[in-house]
Structure 1
């Protein structure tokens, strides 16, 4: 028969062994305010025109812990075929902030496509700093990513 010490030891072992997995799940890879990536904007639309389009919650897909909305079924299908081609860099967090070693949310209307990759920025005032050295900021952000999520 099991005594209290054996049961307690097993419980502590189970909690200790599962702690890293629980911590890993708490890291939000993609910034998703209220659960929707890019504040509900269609990530594929950034690559198709002059301005991004709002997505439709009825045309959505769950990917990497966030819900992604799309303005059309075709855009959803394009995303599902190759999500890495359309998902914003650095998890949709502000690319400039990541280049400086921290994370902050973004304004979906402040963005740039560089070498076929989508970069989002926190605000138009931060965008001015981002644009002073886009390639340098991307390189610094890549140095910090994804460790910046754990800090």
Structure 2
């Protein structure tokens, strides 16, 4: 009987740990309540078409605790082969926001590909400011990201008060 109780306790602990780790991963990716990343836009299309394209729930892939939609099976398969190549930087949070130690949502139509990496911004006005010094903001954001990626927006506010 004790062995059965030990097995149940171990399973319960493992389940709780796994669910807490998956929640922590979601903090690193800008996704909606249904875990949908970049508002359903096809992240591969930024590279192949040079433009944002709305994806479809017919073609999906999961990566870092988020679900990505694609406009075609071909784009989905490209993503699955190299997700880190196509996933937006900073988990899809606003690149300018990360440079400011913030996590802001993004407008998938405010985007930029630089050196083979996709960067998203809060909106077109923020994108315009970000475009004034892309290398400088990327360098700052790279330094900031490791310190904020596992934190919620509320936790970040407390750290930088």
Q: Do Structure 1 and Structure 2 share a fold, with TM-score over 0.5?
A: yes
State the distance in 2 between where 1:106 and 1:146 align.
19
How far 1:20 moved relative to its partner? 8.1
1:143–1:24 CA distance, 2 compared to 1 (3 A): farther
Aligned to 1:88: 88
TM-score normalized with structure 2 length:
0.78
- 5+ residue gaps in structure 1? 1-10
Measure how far apart 1:115 and its partner are: 0.4
Gaps of 5+ in 2: 1-8, 157-161
C-alpha deviation, 1:21, in angstroms: 7.1
| Higher mean displacement: 86-95 or 124-133 | 124-133
Structure 2 counterpart of 1:47: 47
Contact 2:38 2:92 in 1 (8 A): yes
**Secondary structure of 1:132's aligned partner:** helix
Is 1:26 the equivalent of 2:41?
no
Matched, 1:66 2:66: yes
The ranges of structure 1 where at least 4 consecutive aligned residues each deviate by more than 2 angstroms after the TM superposition are 18-28
Stretch of structure 1 that moved more, 38-47 or 27-36: 27-36
If you compute each CA radius of gyration, which structure gives the higher value, 1 or 2?
Answer: 1
How far apart are 1:50 and its partner, in Å?
3.5
Greater Cα shift, 42-51 or 26-35: 26-35
Distance, in Å, in 2 between the alignment partners of 1:126 and 1:88 is: 17
Q: Which residue of 2 aligns with 1:102?
A: 102
Q: What are the equivalent positions in structure 2 for 1:126-145 lying under 5 Å apart?
A: 126-145=126-145
Using structure 1 for the length normalisation, give the TM-score.
Answer: 0.82
